[in-house]
Amino acid sequence: MKRTVERHLNILEFTLASLLRRKAKNLSLLAMYLLVIFMLASLQFFVTALKREAAIILNDAPDMIVQRLVAGRQDLIPVGYAAEIAGIRGVAEVRPRLWGYYYDALNGANYTIMAGNDSDAKPERASVGAGVAKARNLAVGDLLPLISYDKSPVILEISTIFSSSSDLIAADMIITSPDDFRRLFNFPGNQATDLAVTVRNPKEMTTVAAKIASQFPGSRPILKSEIQRTYQSIFDWRGGMTLMVLSAALLSFIIFAWDKATGLSAEERKEIGILKSIGWETSDVLLLKFWEGSVISLTAFLLGTVLAYGHVFLLSAPLFVQALKGWSVIYPRFQLVPVVDAYQLAVLFFLTVVPYTTATIIPCWRAATIDPDAAMRY
């Protein structure tokens, strides 16, 4: 065992010296290798962290949302549906929701405006997200002028500005009283945007949804699990699109790495011939080349992963943020909580490190099996 360890250490020492003798070639290969792993690992970290953030936020979503469809599109739903749905066995609570979008011509931003509970939201007062406050230069106590759909002014006093820690869901949000919401959008008093339904037993949600769809043919019940799957699919799709953009760079690296790994130079063939002539076994030469490939690939993998971690979780992934989070005038800024998926890292390792390390051994085996004199004369 001791001799085996010493053998590997001696070969590894010789490997490092051999790599340093060809610094230009190996550094160029390492730089490209590092860049590809950095981009792929950053994409993986970012998508995984966003999916986790979405899952945490959606845990507080209603068990079920009931919408009304007209000609295949969402329309306002009568508030009277709430009492009838509440009478269905298994339903614990039904709450009409008022929400919509308001376009601000002053800065070209879209606000999400919601009506709060009557007990919390006071008339002519509003709570706004940090993005809205920044876009309008607002502070607590300032007035926020809006124009209603019938072109009359709606003046709201700012009572609260949400902290920046809630930017992911509240950056563009304005919460008003139900009366102010209806006045702003000229909203019918007996209508709601949708209904939030709470079900007593989560196992009965599918059954309750089927009863609602049967009792109200124009309705569309949406389960929380369906919303969660939709968000997961959106981030997977955006991640896949970004990966497709990177595929050209990845293909270029694969071609470059394969050429470098499989094409031994005359100097390397001569070196193998000298090693064989002084007593090295073929297994020793293969072990040498294995360590050469391992040193380069493992160094690139470890450095690329560490840099990707800092890029995503310390710098908030500026290279991918527009592609994966979307775009908006009022842009949510938040610090992602570090999430590392060991399985995905293992997949990335086997897709990048193992093929290159294996590719370095094949041409060396061919060179190591020929006569040493022929290899030195090559």
- The lowest-confidence range among 128-137, 225-234, 293-302, 315-324 is 315-324
Q: Identify the pLDDT of residue 125.
A: 92
pLDDT band at 181 (very low <50, low <70, confident <90, very high): very high
109 within 8 A of 328, measured Cβ to Cβ: yes
Q: Identify the pLDDT of residue 89.
A: 92
Q: Where are the domains of the chain?
A: 2-58+230-376, 99-186
Top pLDDT among 297 and 249 is at 297
Q: What is the mean pLDDT of the chain?
A: 81
End-to-end CA distance of the chain: 37
pLDDT in tens, 288-340: 777 877 888 889 999 999 999 999 888 877 877 666 555 555 656 666 778 88
Q: Is 237 helix (H, G, I), strand (E, B) or coil?
A: helix
pLDDT in tens, 48-70: 887 787 777 778 889 999 999 99
Residues 101-127 have a mean pLDDT of 86
* Pick among 2.40.40.20, 2.60.210.10, 3.30.460.80, 2.60.120.280: CATH of 99-186: 2.40.40.20
Q: Identify the pLDDT of residue 78.
A: 95
pLDDT band at 27 (very low <50, low <70, confident <90, very high): confident
Question: Is the pTM above the cut of 0.85?
Answer: no
Burial (0-12, 13-18, 19+ Cβ within 10 Å), 267:
exposed
Q: Identify the pLDDT of residue 8.
A: 66
Rounded Cα distance between 69 and 65, Å, is 13
The region, left, alpha or beta by phi > 0 then psi within -120 to 50, assigned to residue 316 is: left
